[in-house]
């Protein structure tokens, strides 16, 4: 059974993705030492790091937007990532951006992909999240968890 839909393959392959793709993540780990870094970020970036996907047009439930998998696009936004990580109780690592810089792409320690701005939108786990980006599926709006203020 194929890993991605034919449409996702048609979009990802010209951007440089292929099954078994592996890129070195060490330079990103070193330049992003002020951000959370975990195994899920490393695994995602090994396979998709450096891809620039130029898509547009109608999608399944929202417009398809270009995205780039380059965590260094978040340099200078350490405070935002720290604040949102604390607010949502996870460790958001930057992996890129989408919508021509409107949103950062982030991944948590469980391998869930998100769109981040001043809020968080959940795309889902790895492969399904990539499918959602390619096919234009509206991500899930996240409300911060209730905090015990006792």
- Say how many domains are in the chain: 1
In sequence order, the 6+-apart residues with CB closer than 8 A to the CB of 98 are 65, 66, 67, 68, 105, 115, 133
Q: What is the pLDDT of residue 42?
A: 97
Report whether 104 contacts 97 (CB < 8 A).
yes
- Asked, for residue 111, whether it belongs to a domain, the answer is yes
Its pTM stands at: 0.93
- Asked, for residue 49, whether it belongs to a domain, the answer is yes
Give the mean pLDDT of the chain. Answer: 94
What range does the domain containing 94 cover? 6-17+35-141
- Asked, for residue 22, whether it belongs to a domain, the answer is no
* Per-residue pLDDT tens over the stretch 62-121: 999 999 999 999 999 999 999 999 999 999 999 999 988 899 999 999 999 999 999 999
- Asked, for residue 148, whether it belongs to a domain, the answer is no
CA distances 134 to 22, 58, 71, 91, 115, Å, are 20, 11, 19, 25, 14
As to burial, measured by CB atoms within 10 angstroms (0-12 exposed, 13-18 middle, 19+ buried), residue 66 is middle
Q: Residue 134's closest CA among 3, 12, 2?
A: 12
- Asked, for residue 1, whether it belongs to a domain, the answer is no
């Amino acid at each position: 059974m194929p890993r991605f839909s034919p449409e996702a393959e048609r979009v990802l392959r010209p951007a440089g993705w292929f099954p078994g793709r592996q890129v070195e993540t060490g330079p990103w780990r070193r330049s992003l030492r002020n951000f959370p870094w975990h195994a899920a970020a490393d695994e995602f970036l090994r396979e998709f790091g450096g891809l620039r996907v130029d898509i547009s047009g109608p999608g399944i439930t929202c417009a398809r937007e270009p995205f780039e998998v380059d965590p260094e696009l978040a340099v200078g936004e350490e405070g935002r990532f720290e604040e949102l990580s604390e607010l949502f109780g996870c460790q958001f690592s930057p992996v890129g951006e989408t919508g021509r810089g409107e949103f950062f792409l982030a991944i948590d320690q469980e391998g869930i992909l998100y769109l981040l701005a001043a809020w968080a939108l959940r795309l889902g786990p790895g492969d399904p999240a990539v499918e959602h980006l390619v096919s234009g599926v509206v991500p899930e709006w996240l409300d911060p968890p209730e905090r015990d203020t006792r």
